[in-house]
Structure 1
Amino acid sequence: MSRDSGTRELVAQALQDTRYAPPRQAERTVEDWASRLAAHSAQAAQHDAVDRELLRQSEELLGVMWSRGHWRPADVVRLTRRRLKPAHVSLAVDLIAAEARRYSPAALDRRWAEQLRELDAAVPRWSAEQVWLAEAAGRLRLDRFSALIHLLELLRLWGTAPALTPVGPVPGVAGQHAVLTEPVAGEPKQLARIRALLAKAEATTYAEEAEAFTAKAQELMARHSIDEALLAARSGDRTLPGSVRIGIDNPYESAKALLLDAVASANRSQAVWDKQNGFCTVVGFDADLDAVELLFTSLLVQGVTAMNSGAVQQGGRSKAFRQSFLVAYASRIRERLSAATAQAEAETTAGNLLPVLAARQEAVEEHTTVLFPRLRKGRAIRVSDLDGWTQGQAAADQANLHSPAALP
């Protein structure tokens, strides 16, 4: 048996044993294998071989998560953050960046590439494969034994992750789904403008300015969505809806999921909440999915800021208050967004708009049923703090989305 094959088999056995170890024995199994790998790599030549093999098999595991498990980079990082520690998250980003080297930019759909950039995983942070773990350990201030423990814990988590509902093409087949994932002409510039408006809404301390900036952003989103729907109808485009996953973090995740559902509904999309894994899958057409992602993030920031602002009295520090605040905020935002969407549709002069939008809504509902055939509606969220409800509605009123008469 060659030295390389021996190292390969040793690493494979380590990953298999730690992955399938019973929960009560997992910690001991991880420590035992970290010790064995550290001892095996005591010599410089073996050290490099072990680290290269750990990297290679980690990349293969990620490839399986993409292709069979339908995970995406942001999902993997979110899972790691929810279950493990910041050091594990840093290692996760390193491994995602390493695995991404396998693909040319053309092999990645737009949202996949965006996630890599947002995670700072577009380019590996280490100088060479044989030193990747040593450099990561130095950055995290871990000795080799501790670094191996963190890595094995991370790979155990990934190896036991459940398969998810598909939400887009896996790397390497993006060209087959270009119509679902590539932006239409002019979209990047439009999205950049919308992002800038929402950033201003989040940054200002004046409610009137926040309202104006957010309203203008929603107006641009609605117009872009309507224009895309009409263009697709005229060209005979039979593009199916797509889907994205949006993270829902604690605390008050039920209320946050309710806010996302409000934003999705107003933008002709449907949101399905996976509480166990901490995200919602939003089904809709591409332009609408962009709108949902951008607007939900901004409205959540505005809502949490209002909840934590000086306007909240001392009694507003309780869990009941905050839950009631965010539920009321989501409820009122739903009304405001629905009204803004209806207004944008009313201002459109195209005579065939309503049948076009109805057909797209039906397509979204059908695609949601295909993706989630056993979907069940959740129970209503209880609120028990009147003051929190009142202040939440008031905060949503300040973030209302009626189009302003003019915007500087």
Structure 2
Amino acid sequence: MSQHPVAILIGMENAIALTVVRELGAHGVPVHGVARSPDSIALASRHCRDWSLRPQGDPADWLPDLIARTGARAVLAISEGDLLALSALPPRIGDCHILVPRAEPLASVIDKRRTLDIAQRIGLLVPQTWQPQAGEDFAARAEAMRYPLVAKWANPPEVMADLERAGLEWVKTGYVHTPRELLALLDRYAPIGRWPLIQQYCGGVGLGQMLFMAEGHATLRFQHRRLHEWPPEGGVSTLCRDEPKGDHTAQMDLSEKLLRALDWSGPAMVEYRHEPDTGRYWLMEVNGRFWGSLPLAHHSGAHFAWEAYRRAVLGQKDAAPSPREGVRARYMVPETKRLARVLLTPDRIGDPFFRLTPLADLAAYLLGFLDPRSRYYVFALSDPRPFLRDIVQMVRKAVRRDSRG
């Protein structure tokens, strides 16, 4: 296989980064990783040709020198914070393409209120949403809401520093069952004068539609269903499967229409709660970065990182191959934690409509190791060192916990 020019990947700490490294490497792209720790999991991949510790300061201060030193022709990033920083840079530094969304579309996607407003205008179904503001009559509004509700921050990067200064934990998703619980939640954040979005609870199953947008059109499409998450009531996808491309076609068209309205370029996942019995698709958010279930797309042949690289660096404009069907992917550590929660502490699951099927979940967990459709987020026979590093790190963490106890 021919060697293509180097790509820099900023953020090597998780399974998403590992997938990007493996994907680019399999297509002949050597990767230079930028990591916060020499123990970062993606650094162990055989496809990571070289790496460096992340320097202090803004990428604008150190990235041009790294590009010059490595001869990189592309820069990609994993975290939202890095995408925000890189989006302020020019789309190219010399001959190197900065493959991140532009600042204005990225800001619209990160701010869930803006995303929902645009989506509603173009005809997507969005949940009833309230953004509390200082001076409102919270008690009256709490009595008027329909329960249960979900609380989540409209723009997490904006509020992180305020929460940290006030000693408050950032909670990705909270469930609220009564007016009293809602008032207690709002009171918790009164010291910073900012509150999460309060949103109607939407049932159904998690459906993600992933698209790569170029010049207003999708050049690559893939969709998946979330089967399990950690925590069980909603979070990181721990078991997912592809959805046949012939399903949800009208909704896929709406997803493309939404990304076009957002002036989006590059990869994104449009997330829904789908109610099969009613046929409704409730828009949850648009994920404008490489998403947690990217390993499933990779194993199915939907190569979003490669799509970004080949179109920008190599100038390839031909259609991407159609993804394979009939694949499942498991994220074993959080999937195991999920099973333990279901079996041992089900009372800690916050979703009021979560269906407990502990024996079925245990059987499916064990049989999954024999399922020929199963692939894994981290483990790969062709690239075993990241898995071994992950195991060693888990053992070290367990030893440290025991020593502190």
TM-score when normalising by structure 2:
0.25
Q: Which has the higher helix share?
A: 1
Give the greater-gyration-radius structure (CA): 1
Q: Which has the higher strand share?
A: 2
